[in-house]
Chains A and B, each alone.
Chain A
Amino acid sequence: MITLTALRAFDVPIQTPCITPENFTGKSLAEIKVLPVTEGVRNLTLGDLFKIEETNDGTSNITINGDCAKVKRVGQGMKTGEITVNGNIGMHTGEKMAGGKIIVNGNAGGWTGSEMKKGTIEIHGDAGDYTASPYRGNDLGMKGGLITVDGNVGTDVGCYNQGGVIKIKGNAGRFLGFHMSDGAIYVEKDVDVRAGALMTGGKIVVGGKMEILPSFTIDNVKPKVKVDSETNVAGPFYVFLGDLSEKGTGKIFANKAANPAFKFYEKYL
């Protein structure tokens, strides 16, 4: 196991796509120390920014200590192993991840788990905007895997989701699950406006307050809903179908008790 400890507080963005378990595998400590990173415009090495130590437990797992809110692209494209961050972490963490696990004991920046294919990301704080959403211009959202967030998430989370599962214990920002076609998003508390906008498939389950776009239509009321094999949520829920403007068949499950304003929809049932 490799432990990286920030040598100082970082004031400009740092890009470290080199921090992945597979990239560390088979490298000596000296070799890891000279892996290229950038701090702002400067080309530096990993050893310039982090104290690097090795514990011989036979794995290439990585632990990162310190406030790394400005450190970007940790675990980009990782396939196996584990990264644990004790502190905050910056943007693009676990981007294009294809396996393994990332645990963040702090907040994660935007685009965490962007275009993720497989694996797990556990965030024990908040997650930024565009968590689990694809890069600009792309419609290839999260394909699979699981992201859990204990805190709140920003806007545009889970866009173009094609099969991933996202579970959020706190609140979610607007445009949750934008244009998603499959997979599931579960938010335990409130969701800002325009959840499920342009969705064509998949499901969004909301335990708290929310708003429904005019381009959704009421389908029925369900007592409970299954998010994935592990999570069943008790309702009852209003079930909305949409987004009609995309001829979509996505489903939004809105908690009945938390959303008394939706009562008028019942006349269509």
Chain B
Amino acid sequence: MTEILIKNGFVVDPLNKINCEKMDIAIKNGKVVAKVNEKNAQVIDAAGLTVMAGGVDIHSHVAGAEVNMGRMIRPEDHYKDPVRKTALTRCGTGYSIPSTFVTGYRYSEMGYTSVFNGSVAALKAKHAHEELNDIPLMDKATYILTGDWWFVLENLAKGDVDECARLVAWLMRATKGYAIKIVNPGGLESWGFGRNVHSIDDPVPNFGITPREIMRGLIKVNKKLNMPHTIHLHTNNLGVPGNYQTTLDTMKAFEDLSTDGKPVAHITHIQFASFKGENWGKFKSGAEEIAKYMNAHNHMTLDMGQVTFSDTTTMTADGPFEFSLYELGGHNKWVNSDVETESSGGIIPFHYKKNSPVNALQWSIGLEIALLIKDPWKIFMTTDHPNGGPFYDYPKVLAWLYSKKAREATLKKCHKSAKKKSLLPSIDRELSLYEIAIMTRAGTAKALGLPDKGHLGVGADADVAIFNINPETLDISQKFRTARKAFANAAYTIKDGTIVVKDGQVVNSQIPGRTFWVDAETKDPCKIDDEMKRKFRDYWTIEFENYPVTDHYVKVSDRLERKASV
């Protein structure tokens, strides 16, 4: 195996408390090692460059039924962004929902090496894995929609957290899933009959349970199973004006569940959950309230779900949300995709415009929250790809975070009502490279419970990103465009100890990347008897034996074994 020595780069490695120090990183057998023999090693002269661990994206919709439906219904989106085949890479199409190969290449070109797939219904998990296999150059994993799975609803309604935990352990194993995903808890089941829940204490029809009970129950389950990540939550009332109150209620409902000061839940795309004002006309930012709460509490982590002003495609398991978005008008297509016994879903193409008062303020809200929360270990950078914008807009988002000048340049072009309501002019904070490294790799790796990711200490996976940024000579906040370009085109990306990108171009596409999944071993396995199988046959339209994702579907499998306490 090749050895690599990255010499003299400015290393930014927050997990090891290294901030722009000039040092060497040695790589051997796909891992970071203490040293290598310089004579045998491929030497990268990183003098004047910034060296970070490979990026870890905590929430991005890159694979699965929903994503692919989005691809299928948007030929006009791909038409404007064709990607040529080369001797090294497959062809495809891009724009808001790139084809799988292009997804891998484009992530890699930005120095990202891991991506966690936002949500997948268990019944269609095989599909997600088939697509993940076709995303090269990336480690990946997928979250499994668990919050409205009938077995969860029934067991939690009964108060049987232990049995629920055993079933969820089975579910994770059966779907090769990584974390418990909850989307609009109770709302998806209600959407089965075209209804929704509107607060965390609204009863879920036919099941005698409330969203609060579902979420709290699954946090307990998550703990009992000793999962690497917390529950991954898309809150109730997402995208509804005034929903910041629901979000605060949700966070408050978990306060007592964190006993060791560690986070117990991750709320994803917080921007869409921080709206103030009773209706769209009185639409305001709830960022201050959310940030204030987050600054005073430690039991949550968040990601941004930043809006980037592009012609994109929204997609979520939150069926009722997508329908209400459709009803706002101005859209030519609406997809709904209910999944029996588990979930719903929806897709709407959406063009975020600077001259729309609501869209512009949404843009502001995402940034406000990220900047007002003091601790970067609590909030991570995402666009909820492709919901707020495609992932390859990340460099733009970073620029807004590290440069007030960049924010001002964009705010200038925004609708005047958004300009008036935006809190951004009052925020002077500009993130450092250190903080950016936390929000894009160190923090996400930590939140996901990945000890070998997000840092460059000895033993870490040799996933490295090198950017053409010299912290000694380049003032990123002033020259934000130069830095933005550097983040868009990594000088080098190293995946599993192999150089895969050079000067923003893929030079090796043959690293498939691993798929992580969690195997939580419970003391007693969940009871799978004839009764269970009969129930299964009643609940789903496929047989119990045909439900699990077999080995066949994971190209390079990486099983994370956990000892559960039930």
What is the interface of chain A, defined by CB distance below 8 A to chain B?
134-140
Contact = CB atoms under 8 A, between A and B. Distances in A.
A138 B333 CA distance: 10
Interface of B: 73-77, 79, 332-333
Given A134-B76, A137-B77, 5 more contacts: A135-B76, A136-B76, A136-B79, A137-B76, A140-B76
A135 B75 contact: yes
A135 B332 contact: no
Nearest to A179: B332
Contacts of A139: 332
B468 to A, nearest CB: 32
Contacts of B79: 135-136, 138
Contacts of B74: 137
Nearest to A138: B76
B311 to A, nearest CB: 11
17 contacts: A134-B76, A135-B75, A135-B76, A135-B79, A136-B75, A136-B76, A136-B79, A137-B73, A137-B74, A137-B75, A137-B76, A137-B77, A137-B333, A138-B76, A138-B79, A139-B332, A140-B76
Contacts of B332: 139
Contacts of B75: 135-137
B254 to A, nearest CB: 42
Contacts of B333: 137
A101 to B, nearest CB: 25
A101 B189 CA distance: 57
A137 B78 CA distance: 10
Contacts of B77: 137
B565 to A, nearest CB: 51
Nearest to B331: A139
A138 B79 CA distance: 10
Interface centre among A135, A138, A140 (most CB of B within 10 A): A138
A124 B38 CA distance: 73
A76 to B, nearest CB: 12
Contacts of A134: 76
A137 B79 CA distance: 10
B359 to A, nearest CB: 19
Task: List 5 tightest A-B contacts by C-beta distance, closest first.
Answer: A138-B76, A137-B76, A137-B75, A136-B75, A139-B332
Contacts of A136: 75-76, 79
A135 B332 CA distance: 14
A84 B367 CA distance: 54
Nearest to A160: B332
A164 to B, nearest CB: 18
Contacts of B73: 137
A136 B75 CA distance: 6
B30 to A, nearest CB: 39
Contacts of A140: 76
A140 B79 CA distance: 13
B542 to A, nearest CB: 31
A161 to B, nearest CB: 15
A24 B307 CA distance: 41
A178 to B, nearest CB: 13
A137 B333 CA distance: 9
A200 to B, nearest CB: 12
B348 to A, nearest CB: 13
Nearest to B72: A137
Interface centre among B73, B76, B79, B333 (most CB of A within 10 A): B76
A139 B76 CA distance: 9
A136 to B, nearest CB: 5
Contacts of A137: 73-77, 333
A140 B77 CA distance: 12
Contacts of A138: 76, 79
B33 to A, nearest CB: 46
Nearest to A134: B76
A138 to B, nearest CB: 4
Nearest to B74: A137
A136 B77 CA distance: 10
A90 B76 CA distance: 21
Contacts of B76: 134-138, 140
Contacts of A135: 75-76, 79
A139 B333 CA distance: 10
Nearest to B333: A137
B533 to A, nearest CB: 43
A156 to B, nearest CB: 16
A138 B73 CA distance: 10
Interface centre among A134, A136, A137, A138 (most CB of B within 10 A): A137
B26 to A, nearest CB: 44
B349 to A, nearest CB: 9
A139 B75 CA distance: 12
B326 to A, nearest CB: 14
A153 B76 CA distance: 24
B77 to A, nearest CB: 8
A264 B73 CA distance: 42
B91 to A, nearest CB: 13
A123 to B, nearest CB: 24
A53 to B, nearest CB: 32
Nearest to A139: B332
A242 to B, nearest CB: 19
B310 to A, nearest CB: 16
A137 B332 CA distance: 9
A139 B77 CA distance: 12
A139 B74 CA distance: 11
A138 B74 CA distance: 8
A188 to B, nearest CB: 32
B200 to A, nearest CB: 38
A130 B74 CA distance: 19
Nearest to B78: A137
A136 B74 CA distance: 8
B445 to A, nearest CB: 38
A181 to B, nearest CB: 11
B500 to A, nearest CB: 28
Nearest to B77: A137
A138 B77 CA distance: 9
Nearest to A136: B75
A160 to B, nearest CB: 9
A124 B75 CA distance: 32
B93 to A, nearest CB: 12
B350 to A, nearest CB: 14
A268 B287 CA distance: 58
A130 B126 CA distance: 38
A136 B73 CA distance: 9
A176 B516 CA distance: 53
A172 to B, nearest CB: 24
A134 B76 CA distance: 9
